[in-house]
Amino acid sequence: MVDATDKVLGRLGSEVAKLLRGKHKPNYTPNLDCGDNVIIINADKVKLTGKKWDDRVFFYHSGYPGGQREVTPAMLFAKSPERLVERTVRGMLPKTKLGRELFRNLFVYAGPEHKQEAQKPRAIDLNTIK
């Protein structure tokens, strides 16, 4: 379980992607899922540095002519803070079947409450992981 309070979004995403892949373990294998399940709480308290809230632009396309859409992190955050964090972590995972499988091990919640209490998750300080 990772607390995202006052963490910079990109740095949080890269550390969580390492945990999902299992790169912190001695038995890491690039073509296998040997990572952990990760729960991110307080996604609504994440930070972006500089003017990235309004200057950065994400593009989507509906598939129809003229269907290109733009969204800024501020617009995405206002709609759903979880989606902004999920998008960041997904971009740092492999773009293969393995990456899609690893992404299913990520759970993001906007507040401090989460549904995985029965699994007894332990809190991890991202600064201690190498």
Q: Is the residue at 67 inside a domain?
A: no
Q: What global pTM score does this model have? A: 0.91
Q: Is the residue at 89 inside a domain?
A: yes
pLDDT at 129: 80
Residues near 43 by beta carbon (within 8 Å), at least 6 away in sequence: 4, 81, 82, 84, 85, 108, 109, 110
What CATH number corresponds to the domain at position 102? 3.90.1180.10
Q: Is the residue at 106 inside a domain?
A: yes
Q: Is the residue at 18 inside a domain?
A: yes
pLDDT at 112 over 90: yes
Predicted confidence (pLDDT) per residue in 57-88, tens digit: 999 999 999 999 999 999 999 999 999 999 99
Q: Is the residue at 87 inside a domain?
A: yes
Q: Is the residue at 60 inside a domain?
A: no
What is the extent of the structural domain holding 119?
Answer: 2-48+81-128
Q: Is the residue at 108 inside a domain?
A: yes
The total domain count for the chain is 1
Q: Is the residue at 113 inside a domain?
A: yes
Residues near 31 by beta carbon (within 8 Å), at least 6 away in sequence: 98
